[in-house]
């Protein structure tokens, strides 16, 4: 009664988190197929207490696969996503490859689960980590008061760039502690005790001056909320944190909304934990506390001084879990429930 599940990119930071999440949430896996680039084939990963040997990602590897969770980057997803779909798998892809494709739903289960049903290409896209946690927190407010404009500054963890980026942060930190020169391996400069915008520039005319990461937040917010009239003004910044993205958000709505109303709405919202304590030093969601948790944490909900229709919020989420692996597995759970209903 279970499923044959493939994890593509099983040796990466998000791939490993996908395996852990499938296990923790007791996803009905009859057979697990772990795939990666030829370079990583032969490595072993752990699942349900056993070693699983990683195979190279080939068309043949998808035979009999019901659900394929991809976290192998955009190029691999563009090439192998349709191959997996043609072999009969429902593809859930964590890369940016299919997010803008009108034939692929872009889904945060708490926000737009219904979109999963319409997937003419057999591919469902998992949004960008920064967008996911922002929308889990803002959608309950949007439903009540209609979002008009989101001004967001991010404080993004190094794990969002993968294992090697975390190692780069830690190695740079050790070098500084030893009084040695910092030699960046993955980042385009010093990230230890520093801040970087390290994402590629967006190359569309609309995105002049913006990074790809920032333009993802603009485009994906509109697609997921199915509302082209919402504006997003993003500034994406990498901070020397291992895991857990934070966001400072100024959200402007169509009508006035009070702090009390926002807290009440968020306390009922799925996937959200509200920190409604009065402000005091350290009384707010923090990356080190949120890392390893499923929920998106929202705190520091404050009225705005300039605009009665706006609120300021502080949103923290585990970028590898809800920002990637958990969101993908939640989509897989909905796909799995469809098959059982059919």
- Report how far residue 263's alpha carbon sits from residue 93's, in angstroms, rounded to the nearest whole number: 33
Helix axes 212-225, 129-145, angle to 10 degrees: 40
Closest CB 181 distance from its own copies, rounded Å: 12
Closest CB 172 distance from its own copies, rounded Å: 11
- Kindly give the pairing relationship between strand 50-53 and strand 44-47: antiparallel
Based on CB atoms, which residue is closest to its own copies, 49 or 228? 228
150 phi and psi, to 5 degrees?
-115, 120
Q: Residue 299 pairs with which residues in a beta bridge?
A: 314
Give the start-end residues of each E strand in 202-242.
231-235
Based on CB atoms, which residue is closest to its own copies, 98 or 210? 210
Closest CB 74 distance from its own copies, rounded Å: 17
Q: Output the DSSP codes for 72-136.
A: S-HHHHHHHHHHHHHTTPEEEE-SSTTTT-TTS-B--HHHHGGGGG--TTSEEEPPPHHHHHHHH
Based on CB atoms, which residue is closest to its own copies, 163 or 303? 303
Where residue 300 falls (left for φ over 0; alpha for ψ -120 to 50; beta otherwise) is left
Length of the chain: 342
Active site amino acids = 129, 245
Q: Is 284 exposed, middle or buried (0-12, 13-18, 19+ CB in 10 A)?
A: middle
Based on CB atoms, which residue is closest to its own copies, 54 or 232? 232
Buried b (16+ CB within 10 A) or exposed e, 170-181: ebbeebeeeeee
Based on CB atoms, which residue is closest to its own copies, 49 or 278? 278
Closest CB 218 distance from its own copies, rounded Å: 6
Closest CB 275 distance from its own copies, rounded Å: 11
Positions that interact with its own copies (CB under 8 A): 148-149, 151, 153, 155, 170, 173-174, 177, 187-190, 193-201, 206, 208-211, 218, 231-233, 235, 237, 239-242, 246, 248, 250, 259, 278-282, 284, 286-288, 300-307, 310, 312, 314
11 phi and psi, to 5 degrees?
-95, -5
Based on CB atoms, which residue is closest to its own copies, 65 or 313? 313
- Token pair for residue 147? 């979002």
Closest CB 129 distance from its own copies, rounded Å: 16
């Amino acid at each position: 009664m279970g499923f044959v599940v493939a994890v593509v990119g099983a040796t990466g930071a998000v791939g490993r988190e996908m395996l852990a999440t499938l296990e923790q949430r007791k996803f009905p896996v009859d057979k697990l197929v772990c795939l990666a680039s030829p370079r990583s084939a032969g490595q072993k990963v752990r699942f349900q207490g056993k070693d699983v040997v990683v195979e190279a990602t080939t068309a043949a590897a998808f035979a009999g696969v019901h659900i394929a969770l991809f976290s192998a980057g955009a190029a691999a997803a563009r090439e192998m996503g349709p191959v997996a779909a043609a072999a009969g798998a429902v593809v859930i892809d964590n890369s940016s490859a299919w997010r803008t494709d009108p034939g692929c739903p872009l889904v945060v289960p708490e926000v737009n689960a219904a979109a999963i049903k319409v997937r003419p290409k057999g591919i469902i896209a998992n949004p960008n980590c920064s967008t996911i946690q922002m929308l889990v927190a803002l959608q309950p407010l949007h439903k009540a008061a209609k979002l008009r404009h989101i001004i967001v500054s991010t404080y993004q963890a190094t794990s969002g760039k993968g294992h090697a980026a975390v190692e780069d942060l830690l190695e740079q930190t050790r070098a500084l502690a030893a009084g040695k020169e910092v030699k960046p391996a993955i980042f385009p400069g010093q990230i230890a005790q520093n801040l970087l915008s390290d994402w590629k520039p967006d190359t569309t005319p609309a995105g002049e001056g913006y990074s790809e990461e920032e333009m993802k937040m603009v485009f994906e917010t509109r697609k997921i909320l199915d509302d082209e009239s919402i504006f997003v003004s993003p500034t994406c910044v990498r901070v020397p944190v291992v895991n857990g993205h934070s966001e400072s958000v100024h959200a402007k709505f169509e009508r006035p909304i009070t702090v009390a109303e926002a807290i009440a709405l968020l306390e009922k919202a799925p996937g959200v934990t509200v920190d409604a304590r009065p402000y005091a030093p350290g009384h707010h969601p923090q990356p080190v506390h949120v890392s390893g948790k499923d929920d998106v944490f929202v705190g520091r909900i404050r009225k705005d001084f300039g605009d009665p229709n706006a609120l300021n919020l502080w949103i923290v989420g585990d970028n590898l879990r809800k920002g990637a692996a958990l969101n993908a597995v939640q989509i897989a759970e909905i796909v799995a429930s469809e098959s059982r209903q059919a």
